[in-house]
Amino acid sequence: VQLQASGGGLVQAGGSLRLSCAASGSIFSINDMGWYRQAPGKQRDMVAVVTRGGNTNYVDSVKGRFTISRDNAKNTVYLQMNSVKPEDTAVYYCNAIVTTLQVPLATRNYWGQGTLVTVSS
């Protein structure tokens, strides 16, 4: 299973950016999908998570500004980032809990390669 993230880049404060992450491979099903971020010198933290049924959870600092969504038919998760701030600058990683097509079925955590988001002031 591979997670391919895209959409990062340089954006001015107050602007918008949309991240995408597509999962591919021998996928039976995908449970939670999410976005995490890691700023220089800091640990990786959860930004937003969406369940297969569409329930969402956000870190307080992005509530009202970021929106996570997913397309189950495309095995893809999105992060719409609005009103970005310089403190949103980080490498963003997508994450998915995937059950793979094998016997017996196996479920594990997968990470994308990370995409850099830089917000200028």
* pLDDT tens digits, one per residue of 59-99: 999 999 999 999 999 999 999 999 999 999 999 999 999 99
| pLDDT score, position 48 | 98
φ/ψ of 69, rounded to 5, equals -150, 170
List all residues 6 or more positions away from 42 whose beta carbon is below 8 Å from its beta carbon. Answer: 90
61 in Cβ contact with 34 (< 8 Å): no
Q: Per-residue pLDDT for 5 more than 90?
A: yes
Distance CA 49, CA 15 (A): 22
**pLDDT at position 102 over 90:** no
